[in-house]
Structure 1
Amino acid sequence: MDENRIAIDNHVFIKPDYLNHKHVSGNKKRKLKYNLLEAKILQKNTLLTFGGAFSNHIAAVAYTGYEHGFKTIGIIRGEELHHSKQLNATLSFAKQCGMQFKFVSRALYKNKMTTEFVNQLEDEFGDFYLIPEGGTNPLAVKGCEEILDDIDKTFDYICCPVGTGGTISGLINSSAQHQKIIGFPALKGDFLSKEITKFATKTNWELVSKYHFGGYAKVNKDLIQFINQFKATHNVPLDPIYTGKMMYGIYDLISKGYFKKDSKILAIHTGGLQGIEGMNVKLKQQNKPLIV
């Protein structure tokens, strides 16, 4: 294997896609690549997107706008955040990058992609290029299809965290015939399979949905201990929302004999490390162990 793959042991390797950019790392850079080109073709000067208070996507779009000369608007889930005295690390970073926020109620947020709501946003903010929550659309999937290269065809299994389904869809589309793509959802619920089916062109994939640790941004002591031990042993940081849960799941599945004997597993490290700081704030408030 080459330097772009980190050997964890004889069977498990990590593709450190999180090293591809300091602030817009991993799958976020992939998802935004062709959306940025499209926005420029359409002569849009403003990017508008959606996300929660700890969204990697919000931070990535904010910095991308700053880097490439776009204005950025973030529609943030949680109206109560508007009255918060201090923004968390993710939103503070996005604000420093020039992003303008609109905080909306959770009820309104559920209808964020309806024509009526988008029209209201256009009335309020003017013309913009719309990027969905998590960045997933056909152009994002196209970017994620570029994660795998010819060397990766030597692996039997490709594993990745799953948020909105764009990354795993790209991996499925660019995978080799003999490979199986396994996704580890960070959220509870069965809606992701339907989303992935919209974009995936093959059927060689499976979602393993029992490693969400209670849902999005939910953690426990076992997960935190695993993340800290993994970094101490392999010098690879994992975030608690996506990659930490994936790696925990991979090793639990190995212990249960899920993977074929002597097979090689490639785990895609999709980034998300900026979320560690925000999670540690929550853990400290709850008097729980921190991510180091």
Structure 2
Amino acid sequence: MESFNQKIILENSNITLYLKREDLLHPYISGNKYRKLKYNLAQAKHENKTTLLTFGGAFSNHILAVAAAGKEYGFRTIGVIRGEELGDKINENPTLRQAQEFGMVFDFVSREVYKNKYTELFVERLKERFGDFYLIPEGGTNALAVEGCKEILTVEDEQFDYICCAVGTGGTISGIINCSKTGQQVLGFPVLKGDFLREDICKFVSGTDWDLIPQYHFGGYGKVTKELILFINEFYRKYQIPLDPVYTGKMVFGVLDLINKDYFPENAKIVMIHTGGLQGIAGMNKVLRQKNQIEINIYD
């Protein structure tokens, strides 16, 4: 499958708006995860590694993508999961259950221990337990991931004045900034609180024509509101495009809100990047159901 730009029809607006459907690249190695893993998998093979080890939370898109990539490309996969209590709840968690079906082996650790996951001592203990491995950071962001994300934009996208994407660890937007053309502005919509992302992104980019729009995180990473869920459901009803609630849903909400507030100049051409993450909807709906709250409905 390939990504393509899907036009969003805006009423009473002179703005041209498209959504780049990176979510269609692969059923499980979806969107930016496909881009981030591409060159990391090649490097792992170059180093003759047979095992991939990475980190993530309960409903991590990255964890499932690595598990799927391992199955598809012949790697053993290890997932270090934040939260010891999840070890007894794999079958109750759609993300972890699917990753396990793909062959991933889990190491569940406490949140306190997880904070030290990149220390030399912690990594050495992992090697003692699992043997040699190729380490992929949480979320998949490193220099090779940024290189892969440079391939999100194509010649077709040179027509756009603004390129918008959700921001988690900063790898995706870094790749986009590095391949954007003169005159294009890249806008990132952080999905978590805090201003540290700007510093992280600056480690990978040299361009300056970009900015972060921080007011659409809806409470922080993995947090949602009734307003956001209603928006995602209405967007699907109107355009038949599913949005995830953790990343792309927040970004699209933000872009449309900014359009309504005349943030963009007249006749601006905008492309939004759909970075995937749809697998997380099942897990989010389970949480919403337990709280007796409205669920995401993107199913006909």
Provide TM-score, normalisation by structure 1.
Answer: 0.97
Deviation at 1:239, TM superposition (A): 0.3
Asked whether 1:206 is paired with 2:211, we answer yes
In structure 1, the residue matched to 2:233 is 228
In structure 1, the residue matched to 2:55 is 50
Q: Which deviates further from its counterpart, 254-263 or 214-223?
A: 254-263
In structure 2, the residue matched to 1:6 is 6
Asked whether 1:146 is paired with 2:138, we answer no
Task: Return the letter of the residue paired with 2:282.
Answer: E
Q: Tell me which stretches of 4 or more aligned residues in structure 1 moved more than 4 Å.
A: none
Deviation at 1:22, TM superposition (A): 1.3
Which of 79, 92, 95 aligns to 1:74? It is: 79
Asked whether 1:248 is paired with 2:253, we answer yes
In structure 2, the residue matched to 1:286 is 291
In structure 2, the residue matched to 1:130 is 135
In structure 2, the residue matched to 1:157 is 162
Task: Return the letter of the residue paired with 1:29.
Answer: Y
In structure 2, the residue matched to 1:177 is 182
Task: Return the letter of the residue paired with 1:161.
Answer: A
Using the alignment, how far apart are the partners of 1:107 and 1:261 within structure 2?
50
Using the alignment, how far apart are the partners of 1:87 and 1:61 within structure 2?
20
Q: Secondary structure at the match of 1:199?
A: coil
Using the alignment, how far apart are the partners of 2:272 and 2:100 within structure 1?
32
Using the alignment, how far apart are the partners of 1:257 and 1:100 within structure 2?
49
Using the alignment, how far apart are the partners of 1:86 and 1:34 within structure 2?
32
Q: RMSD across aligned C-alpha pairs, in angstroms?
A: 1.1
Q: Secondary structure at the match of 1:12?
A: strand
Using the alignment, how far apart are the partners of 2:42 and 2:193 within structure 1?
33
Using the alignment, how far apart are the partners of 1:16 and 1:85 within structure 2?
30
Deviation at 1:87, TM superposition (A): 3.5
Deviation at 1:132, TM superposition (A): 0.2
Task: Return the letter of the residue paired with 1:34.
Answer: Y
Residues paired across the two proteins, number = 290
Q: Secondary structure at the match of 2:203?
A: helix
In structure 2, the residue matched to 1:261 is 266
Q: Which runs of 5+ in 2 are unaligned?
A: 10-14
In structure 1, the residue matched to 2:196 is 191
Task: Return the letter of the residue paired with 1:270.
Answer: T
Provide TM-score, normalisation by structure 2.
Answer: 0.95
Deviation at 1:158, TM superposition (A): 0.2
What CA deviation, in whole Å up to 9, does each residue of 1:193-229 have, x standing for no partner? Answer: 1110010121111111111111111111100000000
In structure 2, the residue matched to 1:166 is 171
Q: Which runs of 5+ in 1 are unaligned?
A: none
Using the alignment, how far apart are the partners of 2:217 and 2:135 within structure 1?
29
Retained in 1: the 8 A contact 2:187–2:211? yes
Identity of aligned residues (%): 59
In structure 1, the residue matched to 2:38 is 33
**Cα 1:79–1:202 shift into 2, 3 Å:** same
In structure 1, the residue matched to 2:12 is none
In structure 2, the residue matched to 1:102 is 107
